[in-house]
Amino acid sequence: MNVCVIGTGYVGLVTGTVFADLGNEVICVDNVKKKIDMLKSGVMPIYEPGLRELVLRNVEEKRLSFTTSISKGVRNSKVVFIAVGTPPKANGESDLTAVEIAAKEIAQNMDDYKIIVNKSTVPVGTGNFVRNIIEKYKKNDCEFDVVSNPEFLKEGSAISDCLYPDRIVIGVPNHHVAMSLLELYAPLERPMLITDVESAELIKYASNAFLATKISFINFIANVCEKAGADVTLVAKGMGYDTRIGAHFLGAGLGYGGSCFPKDTLSLLCTAKKLGEDSTLLEAVIDINENRVPRFVKRISARLKPMKGKVIGVLGLAFKPNTDDLRDAKSLEIIKNLLKKKAIVRVYDPIALENAKPLLKGAVFCKNPYDLAKGTDALVVVTEWNEFKLLNLEKLRQSMRGCYLFDGRNIYTRERAERAGFKYICIGMR
């Protein structure tokens, strides 16, 4: 099948590449020429394990191409995916400007029947919004259908998530268009759910907001544990054995971040308010999450006061392991707070250092964890990279001036940290 994907961010690039790997002819379009030039030369604009190899193979086998021409992409494809960014506005609503621009350009370049698929995470009602734009701006009297096909990719495992999804959700206006999308996804042999467009749009937001709720709940329990003398890791383990609850997303820490959970929870909150529904639950989820960093920094300050002149090493900048993404990363908030308190902050991340340099003026960038630890009063773990879990803690401690280890992701045990000579402060324990 001939496929066009508009947008070459995480979702668009991974989706387009995987469709090509399944044997389709895929054209990926982006209006940022620099990004397209990078892709044509084999340089990935994002870090995602295994992506570069998959892109290069499909380009070489001429199933995958890149262009800035939306006309070329639309005219040469039956199915057109919109996979552009929908960042939050100041009030939390999803900004659909990029979706609107893409829909206009699709309308102006359609020359026969097209299936337009919203792959971007968009609020309920966007299907009708896109349909109305295309009806208004189309130059030819072409038939088309608008479909919702939300993505459920996780950065760091996006290719695997695309090839082996838990479910494929397809929101369609009629049976005919459903069959075309089923044909496209058939090689994956994964569970498929056919719904109306509105239900498909809401499934993505409901899923992410539920996971955000789970994270905020265990962080609330962590707060209780810190005061009660309990151990949140044991509480979470006991909860996770219950099959009705499950162990996933019960890791207490610094809260959720990244490009999805924060904006999707906010967007669903705005939708609920617009519809006149009580949004107290989501407001509490967001409030708990927003308090994670101030609470953590307060614990650091209490042990290192006065903070002025203290040297603190921060391990991890990306919002999660196996990505270089810094969107809503807790590291940025923590580091900026520490710098405001006149601390000297040294930072290291295996992948995200270059992306962080323009965002962290005043921080000292280090080449590895052992370089970072030299002369520090404290170490702060922010991202749970496997590299950090395997560090020689004794070696780190010996090069430090102080002895504090603040573990924001609970990647170490108290026994291991104290054996290495650290005073260990983690999440959900005294």
d(CA 358, CA 2): 39
The amino acid present at 342, given as its one-letter code, is K
Contact indicator for 146, 118 with CB cutoff of 8 Å: yes
Active-site residue flag, 403: no
Residues in the chain, how many?
Answer: 430
Where do the structural domains in the chain lie, given as residue ranges?
2-195, 204-290, 292-426
* pLDDT tens profile 163-173: 999 999 999 99
% of the chain surpassing 70 pLDDT:
100
What pLDDT band is residue 427 in, cutting at 50, 70 and 90?
Answer: very high
CA–CA dist 161, 156 (Å, integer): 10
Helices (H) and strands (E) in the chain, counts: 19, 14
- 146, β-bridge pairs: 116
pTM: 0.92
Nearest to 19 by CA among 78, 63, 75: 63
> What Cα–Cα distance (Å) separates residue 429 from each residue in 219, 221, 229, 413?
12, 11, 6, 11
- Say if residue 430's pLDDT is above 90: no
% of the chain with per-residue pLDDT over 90 = 97
CATH classification for the domain delimited by 292-426, as one of 3.20.20.150, 3.40.50.720, 3.40.190.10, 3.40.630.30: 3.40.50.720
d(CA 211, CA 321): 18
Mean pLDDT across 205-211: 96
Beta bridge partner(s), residue 358: none
Query: Could you read off the pLDDT of 243-286 as tens digits, one per residue?
Result: 999 999 999 999 999 989 999 999 999 999 999 999 999 999 99
**According to the CATH classification, is domain 204-290 in 1.10.1040.10?**
yes
Query: Which one of the listed residues 4, 28, 225, 260 is annotated catalytic?
Result: 260
Measure the CA–CA gap between 295 and 341, rounded to whole angstroms.
15
Angle in degrees, 0-180, between the axes of helices 330-340 and 292-304, rounded to the nearest 10: 40
DSSP code string of 312-359: EEEE--SSSTT----TT-HHHHHHHHHHHTT-EEEEE-SS-HHHHTTT
* 376-385 per-position pLDDT tens digit: 999 999 999 9
- Give 407-417 pLDDT, tens digit per residue: 999 999 999 99
363: which DSSP letter?
Answer: P
CA distances from 234 to 175, 186, 238, 284, 389 (A): 49, 42, 6, 24, 19
Contact 213, 283 (CB under 8 A): no
Per-residue b or e along 4-43, where b marks 16 or more CB atoms closer than 10 Å to that residue's CB: bbbbbbbbbbbbbbbbbbbebbbbbbbbeeebbeebeeee
**C-alpha angle with apex 283: 320 to 216, nearest 5 degrees?**
40
Count of alpha carbons within 13 Å of 149, Cβ hemisphere only? 29
- pLDDT value at 175 more than 90: no
Q: What is the pLDDT of residue 176?
A: 87
Q: Does position 352 have pLDDT exceeding 90, yes or no?
A: yes
pLDDT single digits (tens) 111-165: 999 999 999 999 999 999 999 999 999 988 899 999 999 999 999 999 999 999 9
Average pLDDT, the chain: 96
Instruction: For residue range 19-41, list pLDDT tens digits in order.
Output: 999 999 999 999 999 999 999 99
Pick the CATH number of 2-195 from 3.40.640.10, 3.30.70.20, 3.20.20.330, 3.40.50.720: 3.40.50.720
Query: Do 204-290 and 292-426 share a fold?
Result: no
Structure tokens at 10: 């995480």
**Residue 307: pLDDT band with limits 50, 70, 90:** very high
When pLDDT is averaged across residues 193-208 and rounded to a whole number, the result is 96
Cβ pair 149, 118 in contact under 8 A: yes
Edge-first strand order for the sheet with 192-195 is 64-67, 25-29, 2-6, 79-82, 114-118, 144-148, 168-171, 192-195
**CA–CA gap between residue 333 and residue 345 (Å, rounded):** 13
Q: How far is residue 307 from each of residues 63, 316, 362, 375, 400, measured CA to CA in Å?
A: 56, 21, 16, 15, 16
User: What does the pLDDT read at residue 24?
Assistant: 96
pLDDT in tens, 50-86: 999 999 999 999 999 999 999 999 999 999 999 999 9
β-sheet bridge partners, residue 64:
26
Three-state secondary-structure class, residue 168 = strand
